[in-house]
Structure 1
């Protein structure tokens, strides 16, 4: 698996397996086992996915050494603030059944972000976390919060696909070598995206499917991708993107697909309130 060097000296697998919206009824456990058996070594979960426990069990039962698996989880904004974030991190570790988390992110950029970040910095200092980062931070939100941090994030996980290539954000993060992780790297199954003529032409040329062309494009941009699937064949095919390379002109053609916006706008008014009311991450504690 190709590794990408983060600005804190740690390495992260270029492709991760995302478990967003996979239920914790045994489905997450089976999907993670399937992914690890297929060769994935990066699993991306979150407190708000309600499936950390199944991820942890699958890691143990996979037989793969813990040191060879990169685990990402995320703190929900319900637990922001210094003290609440410390407890939230401990809860994630307990549910995952792990001694440390490779990457821990602030899932949403609202509320006491600075206090929560301080707790993550402390968690990194004491070995509970290897790398720390943020998620869903637009350039506007980045400029609001990051100057208040003592340290810069290693990662910003945001919506990213050929229709939304985060051009402004990439320019902002590049000077500090902050990597973008793509949630929804396949456009969340957008049929129009998969039917784009340039993608279909490249798929035919390289004997790949549309999803593999999209993921390879993002990979060549230096984006860490997190495709999600519960289908064994798709889980395997999403990983099989390193035996071909798009040319410079083909990368330019793919770049022309950018529409400059995505399905989620973190800057929109009321987003914090909508997210906080969506669910209670402690309802079953």
Structure 2
């Protein structure tokens, strides 16, 4: 087990404002606050440097404890959090940011996202003004969105200000979001995948298990490698130290074009989370 503070050789993606973000990070969705401290500590020990949390997860404090206990210099870390739909609006978003920062025990974030567009009110437009203010004031290094469909992204871009650096969406072999990833790329927005392993739903696919056997790796490693070779940012989640390390060990093999195509063929509109057009919190 690698318990040193030497980061694994994780490639970085350069966001549209020049900030470099690790392409492979660690997510803590659906992890309790107490368990989050141990999980993030294990991830940092394994070599992860990018940690993704959110206000609604209720584990920013647990994340912050692990960051503080790690002894890793702040500038080596990349920390993401998100404003929840109940806090959309200019003043509410600024207050939510301060609350997240306080729980994390940090004095800035690397990336702050609007968690869902909640299109019933379009409150995300005012929240975006708040994120631009935080960016301008140096309180956050990059700003972006999560779960935005092209029509929501177009409204933000149409404001004529900052273009989101990232759009984090549910994306895995069963839900490849090509109609979202295309417009993201056209605007210079990096696509980040949450639930990159479809909560395990694709790991038993014959195509995936065959590729895993061919390379002597796990099905999860195959899927993560598929994402990386297509240029996406990913944040796999686990609370198991061995799995946390395994998910990081995906840089020693490469998938052939035919193998990538076999995984591409698993698309089935297999969404596991809410639909962004319908979800308003």
Q: TM-score range by the shorter chain?
A: over 0.9
Correspondence for 1:281: none
Structure 1's 109 and 145: CA in aligned 2 closer, same or farther, altered over 3 A? same
Scaled by the length of structure 2, the TM-score of the pair is 0.92
What's the counterpart of residue 215 of structure 2?
206
TM norm structure 1: 0.91
State the partner residue of 2:4: none
Pairs within 5 Å for 1:232-251? 232-251=241-260
Q: How does 1:263-278 map to 2 (within 5 A)?
A: 263-269=272-278, 271-272=279-280, 275=281
| Counterparts of 2:160 and 2:170, CA distance in 1 | 23
Offset, 1:92: 1.1
Is 1:252 the equivalent of 2:266?
Answer: no
Whether 1:18 and 2:57 are equivalent positions in the alignment is no
- Separation (CA, whole Å) in 2 of partners of 1:70 and 1:145: 24
Inter-partner Cα distance in structure 2 for 1:262 and 1:138: 14
Deviation readout 1:91-146 (Å, 9 max, x if unpaired): 11111111110000000102311111101011011111000000011223333444
Match of 1:15, SS? Answer: coil
Tell me the C-alpha RMSD between the 2 structures.
1.3
Query: Is structure 2 residue 191 aligned with structure 1 residue 180?
Result: yes
Cα distance in 1, alignment partners of residues 242 and 58 from structure 2: 25
CA–CA distance in structure 1, aligned partners of residues 43 and 133 of structure 2 = 31
* 1:87 lines up with 2:103 in the alignment: no
In 1, Cα distance between the equivalents of 2:158 and 2:258?
37
Does the alignment pair 1:119 with 2:130? yes
- Helix, strand or coil at the partner of 1:238: helix
Q: Where does residue 67 of structure 1 map in the other structure?
A: 75
The residue matched to 2:158 in structure 1 has which SS?
A: helix
Count of aligned pairs: 269
Cα displacement string for residues 79-99 of structure 1 (whole angstroms, at most 9, x for unaligned residues): 111111111111111111111
Tell me the distance in 1 between the aligned counterparts of 2:273 and 2:35. 26
Report the Cα offset of residue 151 of structure 1: 1.4
- Paired residue for 1:171, among 171, 182, 186? 182
5+ long unaligned stretches in structure 2: 1-9
Matching residue of 1:278? none
Which consecutive aligned stretches of 4+ in structure 1 deviate over 3 angstroms post-superposition?
143-146
Distance 1:175 1:207, change over 3 A: same
Against the structure 1 CA distance between its residues 268 and 99, is the aligned structure 2 distance closer, same or farther, given a 3 Å change threshold? closer
Residue 252 of structure 1: how far off its partner (Å): 1.4
- Contact conserved, 1:52 with 1:96, CA < 8 A, in 2? yes
For 1:225 and 1:213, the matched residues in 2 are separated by: 13
Q: Secondary structure of the equivalent of 1:43? A: strand
Distance 2:207 2:200 in 1: 17
1:98 aligns with 2:109: no
CA change 1:264–1:143 in 2 (3 A) is farther
Distance in 2, Cα, partners of 1:137 & 1:166: 11
